Amino acid sequence: MIGNNMNEVSVIGLGAMGSTLAQVLLGNGYRVTVWNRTTAKAEPLVRDGAVLAQSAASAVGASPIVVVCVLDYKATNEILGTKEVASALAGRVLVQLTTGSPQEARDGEVWARERGADYLDGAILAYPSQIGTDATILISGAETAFRRSEPLLKILAGNLTYLGEQVGSASALDCATLSYLLAALLGFFHGARVCESEGLRVDSFGSMLADLAPVLGGEVKHLGEVIQAGEYDRPQSSLMTYASAAEPLVRQAQDAHINSEFPTFASGLFRQAMAAGHGEEEVAALVKVLRGETTDKGGLTAGRTQSG
């Protein structure tokens, strides 16, 4: 139990994730106040001891820490953007666990501070079933607010990572992770169609990728180090090699009459990088195309810098 009423928390938003957050906190001895626009979602939690607030404002006023986990920032603004909520926010820590952009996090921090509240922005990189065990939650914002909320957040996430006071950091890393995940999923789904078109088992393909996961993870780690250092001239695998490998994907899709949008898009990016003169560099040099950089005949780059 935490002294000074810090074992009291309000959870706003009772979808699959929000309900799980509230349930885990209840199971760890917290006095949990809940509110949701559809009150029926609160009934299982109330049966387990949660207190149902009659309004968002009363939920905010009930606890020193308020956790918000709704669909998006638009929903957050609709719920919290009333005079009643504004008058209840002063002195509280608002922990925003709704998926959003870094700019939305910065705007949220300004909004909360104007109303006398501390603000943390977080990203949950986990499924509801992982909450309370090995879940990863990224948090950014004022350190004083984080220290007040840390015991509670550690209950929710075995892998809690505080990224510092730049409040957009958690959302930025969440966006970066989602970028990787979405591209990987698109690649897997296209690979599944390749397998189907050739009469191969998709589950075996999935198992093969799972076995390769440590190798693929090591490659991503290496490429991150290359980009951070800006050293592309000692390639483990050149961009030209990947560009050449992308072309058969397009031809296979055309030959098999399956959707070719994904390999065509990927191949187009590699062709741009080749045309810009990056073929002999590490494949990570593809990031230069995404930055909008160009290469002149002397090999010098122009356009956006790495930090730009």
Q: Please report, for the domain that includes residue 275, its CATH number.
A: 1.10.1040.10
Q: Number of C-alpha atoms within 13 angstroms, CB side, residue 198? A: 12
pLDDT at 67 over 80: yes
Residues 121 and 257 in one domain: no
Range in 20-24, 129-133, 298-302 the model is least confident about = 298-302
Residue 192 belongs to some domain of the structure: no
Residues 26 and 131 in one domain: yes
Q: Which pLDDT score is estimated for 95?
A: 98
User: Percent of the chain having pLDDT more than 70?
Assistant: 94
Q: Which pLDDT score is estimated for 80?
A: 96
Residue 284 belongs to some domain of the structure: yes
Among the candidates 166, 187, 219, a domain finishes at 166
Q: What predicted TM-score, i.e. pTM, was given to this entire model? A: 0.89
State the average pLDDT over residues 170-174. Answer: 98
Among the candidates 166, 189, 217, a domain finishes at 166
CATH code assigned at 79: 3.40.50.720
The pLDDT-based confidence of 214 (bands split at 50, 70, 90) is very high
Q: Which pLDDT score is estimated for 6?
A: 73
The pLDDT-based confidence of 271 (bands split at 50, 70, 90) is very high
Among the candidates 146, 166, 186, a domain finishes at 166
Residue 194 belongs to some domain of the structure: no
- For residue 143, which of 208, 189, 216, 93 has the smallest C-alpha distance? 93
Residue 177 belongs to some domain of the structure: no
Strand order in the sheet with 31-35: 51-52, 31-35, 8-12, 65-68, 93-96, 118-125, 136-141, 159-162
What's the pLDDT tens digit per position in 96-132? 999 999 999 999 999 999 999 999 999 999 999 999 9
Q: Which residue has the higher pLDDT, 297 or 46?
A: 46
State the average pLDDT over residues 252-265. Answer: 97
- For residue 265, which of 286, 288, 282 has the smallest C-alpha distance? 286
Q: Which pLDDT score is estimated for 297?
A: 40
pLDDT at 87 over 50: yes
pLDDT at 308 over 90: no
Mean pLDDT, the chain, as a whole number? 94
Q: What CA–CA distance (Å, rounded) separates 57 from 140?
A: 25
The pLDDT-based confidence of 295 (bands split at 50, 70, 90) is low
Bridge partners (DSSP) listed for residue 66: 10, 94
Residue 277 belongs to some domain of the structure: yes
Residues 68 and 147 in one domain: yes
Residues 224 and 270 in one domain: yes
State the average pLDDT over residues 211-217. Answer: 96
pLDDT at 2 over 50: no
Residues 148 and 254 in one domain: no
Residues 56 and 136 in one domain: yes
Residues 14 and 126 in one domain: yes
Residue 148 belongs to some domain of the structure: yes
Residues 60 and 159 in one domain: yes
pLDDT at 306 over 70: no
User: Percent of the chain having pLDDT more than 90?
Assistant: 93
Residues 212 and 159 in one domain: no
Residue 160 belongs to some domain of the structure: yes
Domain that includes residue 156, residue range:
8-166
Q: What CA–CA distance (Å, rounded) separates 170 from 176?
A: 10
State the average pLDDT over residues 28-33. Answer: 98
Residues 215 and 294 in one domain: yes
Residues 234 and 109 in one domain: no
Cβ-contact 156, 21 below 8 angstroms: yes
Residues 26 and 111 in one domain: yes
User: How many domains, the chain?
Assistant: 2
Residue 183 belongs to some domain of the structure: no
